[in-house]
């Protein structure tokens, strides 16, 4: 995989940032996708380059097919794609299902589900040996919410991650004979800004007592599992979903 390009959607902050830095340290040229926080994306590129790695930042909304096509076009100019990390994702404000608007649910699915599937489509077109590619890896970000359902918080988010689990299994089987491995990580409570974006900045730390390990996880602990899946050390792993959740 040395010198191959890895696209990390949502690579500017949180888990994606940690993945981008860890993937670059392992020799990937990293395409750091981000939605709007240019300063954060630039900081990730700077951090990678200061360690002699290679990275570019690409702005775009994974809820937009046109932006996804532009992201992959830029990545093509950067080098040969070897990995996609479908990391960009959102949560909503705490709400019961009987309070949710159609717009909220559609946005959740457009970004978390359709965006991930469209990015995977573009990655398969480039990496599958069926299309003349050299193979590669797709890692999807699910959540333990797919198992727990997130009642009274964000069931729509949990459902979007349930879709990611099914997608991971199905796509993995579909391309297993074409040199592409597909896997998902289900993080537990991780210390990132996603909780603040859902209006509850203290959520992870407040709920830490419910985790068997009695603590939140770090973005780096998730990134470690992801870069392992991206590596040849995981060469026989596909259609697999790995909980990285302190036992939750």
* Residues contributing to the site for ligand NAP (CB under 6 A): 9-10, 12-16, 33-37, 40, 61-63, 87-90, 111, 141, 143, 187, 189-190, 192-194, 197, 204
**Shortest Å, Cβ 193 to ligand NAP:** 4
Of the pair 178, 220, the CB lying nearest ligand NAP is at 220
Query: Which residue among 154, 157, 173, 236 is the active-site one?
Result: 157
Sign of the Cα torsion 113, 127, 46, 26 reads positive
**Shortest Å, Cβ 16 to ligand NAP:** 5
Contact 35, 59 (CB under 8 A): yes
Of the pair 103, 232, the CB lying nearest ligand NAP is at 103
Is 157 an active-site residue? yes
Of the pair 127, 223, the CB lying nearest ligand NAP is at 223
Q: What is the DSSP string of 143-189?
A: -THHHH--TTT-HHHHHHHHHHHHHHHHHHHHHGGGTEEEEEEEE-S
Of the pair 106, 130, the CB lying nearest ligand NAP is at 106
**Shortest Å, Cβ 131 to ligand NAP:** 25
Catalytic positions are 157
């Amino acid at each position: 995989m040395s010198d191959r390009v890895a696209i990390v959607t949502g690579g500017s902050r949180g888990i994606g940032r940690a993945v981008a830095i860890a993937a670059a340290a392992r020799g990937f040229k990293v395409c750091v996708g981000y939605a709007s926080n240019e300063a954060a994306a630039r900081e990730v590129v700077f951090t990678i380059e200061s360690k002699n790695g290679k990275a570019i930042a690409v702005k775009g909304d994974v809820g937009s097919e046109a932006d996804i096509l532009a992201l992959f076009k830029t990545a093509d100019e950067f080098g040969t794609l070897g990995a996609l990390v479908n990391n960009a994702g959102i949560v909503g404000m705490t709400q019961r299902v009987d309070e949710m608007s159609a717009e909220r649910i559609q946005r959740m699915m457009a970004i978390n589900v359709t965006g991930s599937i469209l990015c995977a489509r573009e990655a398969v077109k480039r990496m599958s040996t069926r299309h003349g590619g050299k193979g590669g890896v797709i890692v999807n970000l699910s959540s333990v919410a797919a198992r727990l359902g997130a009642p009274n918080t964000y069931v729509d988010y949990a459902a979007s991650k349930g879709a990611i689990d099914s997608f991971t299994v199905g796509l993995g089987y579909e391309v297993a004979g074409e040199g592409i491995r597909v896997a998902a990580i289900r993080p537990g409570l991780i210390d990132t800004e996603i909780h603040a974006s859902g209006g509850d900045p203290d959520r992870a730390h407040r709920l830490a007592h419910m985790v068997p390990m009695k603590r939140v996880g770090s973005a780096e602990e998730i990134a470690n599992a992801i870069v392992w899946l991206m590596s040849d050390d995981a060469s026989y792993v596909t259609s697999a979903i790995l909980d990285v959740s302190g036992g939750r």
